[in-house]
Amino acid sequence: MAVNAQRFLDDLHKLREFGASGVGNGVSRPAYSDADIAARRWLAGRFAEACLEPHFDPVGNLFGLAPGKSLLMGSHSDSQPEGGWLDGALGVVAALELARSGDRPISVVSFQDEEGRFGVTTGSAIWSGKLPLEHADDLIDHGGMRFSAARGRMRDLAQGFVDPNRFTGFLEMHIEQGPVLDTNKEKIGVVTDIVGIRDMVIEFSGQQNHAGTTPMHLRRDAFQALSAFNSLINDRFKNVVSPQTVWTIGHVDVHPSASSIVPGQVRFSMQWRDGDVDRLARMESIIRASAEEIGRAIGVEFRFGQMLGIEPVEMDPELRQSLEDGAQTVAPGTWRVMPSGALHDASNVAALMPVAMVFVPSINGISHDFAEDTSEADLVIGLQVLEAALASH
């Protein structure tokens, strides 16, 4: 039986309704939010209708299990606080459509907290054994909630962890989330490898004081420390990075955040990504040394949080070849092989079984924004490439 493109698109649009926000197809469905849990309950129902056994594990990863040994396909259904309708959701719904339309046994998964409300791809990191549950339980989100409390919100659904040995491999379809395919008017990217990531919280603590009376030379201003730190690392990274290296300070919490108070404390996220682990390590040295130097120069204390990371991962050659064959059949001349600069659950699952990934274009290269989108025609091409890949594998 062939895939049903309309049923696939209808389910994608239905999933978008959970946490629909902002403009266009925007979604706000952070891990363990009411919208996320409602979406997972709905997905579990859709899995059951497709004769897949719904199974929530202790951290809220949702599986739809085919009997016996099967291929695993899927992605995640949580979103960034301001996200789009396709990041993660596409891979889950495409997997469901392939599982219910084909003859071979396919299990489906929606991993929990891929978007890193608590860590980095938290649910698949725990399932793959890379992140011990006891360590994960101590992770805290930007609002001060503990991971243990968040996963407790799904306690009534939880069963045990699924044995990875029942799966023969993992395929994940995703939007590219960057400009390469769209700019080049291509339809499909077959992923070669996924870059590595490092992520930690840094804190500068100075002295909170009156913004009118405290002379500039006596201030121990935590925001000024962050500002100087940012300039220093940007300068020092120039000698180390490649054009593919990226780094981001995406969350900043200035305390107490008032116009007339010299900030006494700043807590911020520091994230950097690259395909080369030595370069990631050199960047870490620069970050640590720069924080120390700025701390001394401005008279603020500094503290580094738990460092989270995922190593760069190559895709499995055989599974990747099937995707390339599928791309060549469905979209001849309009596909390419490419690395992934975004992180994916496949990075963790690669520790357990062979994995491969396929991308469809993101309009204007935008993602992690309400404006994220892909044409429905391109979504269906991606689905058909997976179908063709399964036929050739």
What is the distance between the alpha carbons of residues 187 and 63, in angstroms, rounded to a whole number? 29
Cβ closest to ligand GLV, residue 50 vs residue 351 = 351
Q: Does 74 bind Mn ion (CB under 5 A)?
A: no
Cβ closest to Mn ion, residue 74 vs residue 263 = 74
As beta bridge partners, residue 194 has 313, 340
Considering the complex, what minimum distance in angstroms separates the CB of residue 392 from Mn ion? 26
Neighbours of 183 (CB within 10 A): 11
Considering the complex, what minimum distance in angstroms separates the CB of residue 393 from ligand GLV? 26
Considering the complex, what minimum distance in angstroms separates the CB of residue 139 from ligand GLV? 16
Considering the complex, what minimum distance in angstroms separates the CB of residue 15 from ligand GLV? 17
- Cβ contact 90:382 at 8 Å: yes
What is the distance between the alpha carbons of residues 136 and 336, in angstroms, rounded to a whole number? 37
- Cβ contact 239:286 at 8 Å: no
What is the distance between the alpha carbons of residues 176 and 181, in angstroms, rounded to a whole number? 8
Q: Which one of Mn ion, ligand GLV, none is in contact with 123 (Cβ closer than 5 to 8 A by kind)?
A: none
Q: Which one of Mn ion, ligand GLV, none is in contact with 343 (Cβ closer than 5 to 8 A by kind)?
A: ligand GLV
Q: Which one of Mn ion, ligand GLV, none is in contact with 11 (Cβ closer than 5 to 8 A by kind)?
A: none
Q: Which of 63, 88, 45 is nearest to 163 (CA)?
A: 63
Token pair listed for 36: 């996320």
Q: Does 342 bind ligand GLV (CB under 6 A)?
A: yes
Q: Does 343 bind ligand GLV (CB under 6 A)?
A: yes
Q: Does 87 bind Mn ion (CB under 5 A)?
A: yes
Cβ closest to ligand GLV, residue 197 vs residue 323 = 197
Query: Contact with Mn ion (CB under 5 A): which of 60, 74, 88, 382?
Result: 88
Considering the complex, what minimum distance in angstroms separates the CB of residue 75 from ligand GLV? 10
- Binders of ligand GLV among 204-233, rule CB under 6 A? none
Backbone angles phi, psi at 44, to 5 degrees: -60, -40
Query: Contact with ligand GLV (CB under 6 A): which of 36, 78, 115, 172?
Result: 115
Three-state DSSP at 76 gives strand
Cβ closest to ligand GLV, residue 71 vs residue 346 = 346
Distances (CA, A) of 386 to 98, 180, 194, 374: 8, 20, 19, 17
What dihedral angle (degrees, nearest 10) is formed by the CA atoms of 275, 276, 281, 285?
-80
Burial of 67 (0-12, 13-18, 19+ CB in 10 A): exposed
Considering the complex, what minimum distance in angstroms separates the CB of residue 40 from ligand GLV? 18
> Which residues make up the interface to Mn ion (CB under 5 A)?
87-88
> Which residues make up the interface to ligand GLV (CB under 6 A)?
115, 342-343
